[in-house]
Amino acid sequence: PDAGRPEHDDRDRHDTPALLEALDGRRPRRTPVWFMRQAGRSLPEYRALRQRAGVSMLDACLTPALAALATVQPVHRHGVDAAVLFSDIVVPLRLAGVGVRIETGTGPVIDAPVRGRRDVAALASRHLGDDEAGALGAQAVGDAVTMAVDELGSPSSPPRPGAAGGRIWGGDQARDRSSTARRLAGARESRGEAGWTPLIGFGGAPFTLAAYLVEGRPSRDHLAARTLMHSDPAAWDALMTWCATTTAAFMSLQVRAGASAVQLFDSWAGSLSPEDYREHVLPYSALVLEIVSRAVSPTTGRPAPVIHFGTGTARILPDMRRAGAQAVGVDDRTGLAEAITALDHDGQGPCPVQGNIDPALLAAPWEVLGEAVDACLEAGRRAPGHVVNLGHGVPPSTDPDVLTRVVARVHGSPGWERAA
Ligand code: CP3
């Protein structure tokens, strides 16, 4: 496996962060790692921030300094290879004037669920940023991205810790964070890696958003959404087209403000048959990615590579790729090796993958988790690029030290060898 790569020296310095290398289908020196839901309740500093701010989840997403700080907290604590914007898939619904809130322990709740043709028509007349509150909200999301990128750095400017935090925390915390951030950047640079950390923007895929809009709240099998899909194809088309353009506007705005990569979350796509996915869902996810591909990130000077993630997606992975993604996120119900093989399909060749440590193992003894991390790295060597992540989000009860330890384990393993 050793391809005879020389020990690194100055000539071997990488200005491209490992995450972006992996998404481009290369094997960086070390395999990159980040965690879905890394910004959130598993971190005491996040809980303190939310408590201090005393605002609802969605209002927190629309408060730039707060959202930027929650975004960078896990980078400083764990040394992960990417930040993910602190926001939510339902934020663009709010910015388009839809009555929605997030209930702790439940998830998004819609005031007036979309039940038929007439509701869809009313929805379709709304656009992200149309009214004053929506326009201000869109501005706030862009500002949160800009502030987070200031903190995380870019190819042209080093990280500037304190860009967001100083406005929320007093001097001591800002100084602590400053030195943490400097240490992190220094350690990366001394290893010959890029001194900046890319920000991942995201959006919910049309089916997952439509499922919330129709059901009105999280549901297990999305019956009402699937009924509408089959019983009124015209209303379904209008609803899915609206979800696609709305979430695409939200993602594009993050890219234009400085996100270097994006993830499309189709969390509920696994509840569909492959036939239904292909016919009634995929074209709209493809529309999202087509629109997003036109946005250029000022951080990288190029469009954002896309990670397309869902759960229970073993049978639709090649379709998810075909929607226009550079990489596919694999959940923990699918074997990573099996997913890599499935994605190498129709002569398309293999593609970069992200995943897929079982979040349940975060609470297991370290020997068990450590072996799972190694197995994940091993399986990932068969792909042209591998981003280590969990198979789904970090459970709120997770001990954050365990996440830090997982990052260290991944970084301790060389990433550039690729299995034959
Ligand atoms: O760290 C990150 O991943 C970045 C931020 C992020 C959040 N939500 C913050 C959040 C991301 C990427 C999301 C995506 C999201 N939101 C998805 C897709 C990913 C998935 O989990 O499948 C979905 C389905 C939602 C909808 C949603 N929002 C749910 C189901 C919940 C959980 C409700 C609960 O209390 O358990 C939320 C709330 C939410 N989104 C929180 C956070 C940090 C917790 C709210 C809080 O801190 O009070």
Whether the Cβ atoms of residue 149 and residue 258 lie closer than 8 Å to each other = yes
Give me the average pLDDT of each 10-residue run along the chain (420 residues). Answer: 42 78 95 96 94 95 96 95 98 98 95 96 95 97 97 92 62 64 75 90 98 94 94 97 98 98 95 96 98 98 98 96 98 97 88 98 98 98 97 96 96 69
Q: Shortest CA distance to 95 belongs to which of 220, 247, 234, 289? A: 247
Distance from the alpha carbon of residue 40 to the mean position of ligand 1, in angstroms: 8
CA 362, distance to chain mean position in Å, is 19
236 in ligand 1 pocket by Cβ < 6 Å? Answer: no
CA distance 189 to 19: 15
For residue 158, the model assigns a pLDDT of 87
39 in ligand 1 pocket by Cβ < 6 Å? Answer: yes
The 3-class SS string of 57-78 reads HHHHHCCHHHHHHHHHHHHHHH
Q: What is the CATH number of domain 10-411?
A: 3.20.20.210
Residues linked to residue 264 through DSSP beta bridges, in sequence order: 203, 308
For residue 7, the model assigns a pLDDT of 45
Residues linked to residue 33 through DSSP beta bridges, in sequence order: 388
38 in ligand 1 pocket by Cβ < 6 Å? Answer: yes
Q: Using the 8-state DSSP alphabet, how is residue 376 labeled?
A: H
Nearest protein CA to atom 43 of ligand 1, as residue? 40
Domain ranges of the chain: 10-411
- This model of the complex carries an ipTM of 0.94
C-alpha distance across the termini of the chain, in Å:
7
CA distance 122 to 114: 9
For residue 165, the model assigns a pLDDT of 56
Tell me the DSSP string of 206-252. HHHHHHHHHHSS--SS-HHHHHHHHH-HHHHHHHHHHHHHHHHHHHH
- Strand locations in 55-182, DSSP E? 83-84, 100-103, 107-110
For residue 350, the model assigns a pLDDT of 93
For residue 27, the model assigns a pLDDT of 94
265 in ligand 1 pocket by Cβ < 6 Å? Answer: yes
36 in ligand 1 pocket by Cβ < 6 Å? Answer: yes
Nearest protein CA to atom 34 of ligand 1, as residue? 105
For residue 174, the model assigns a pLDDT of 61
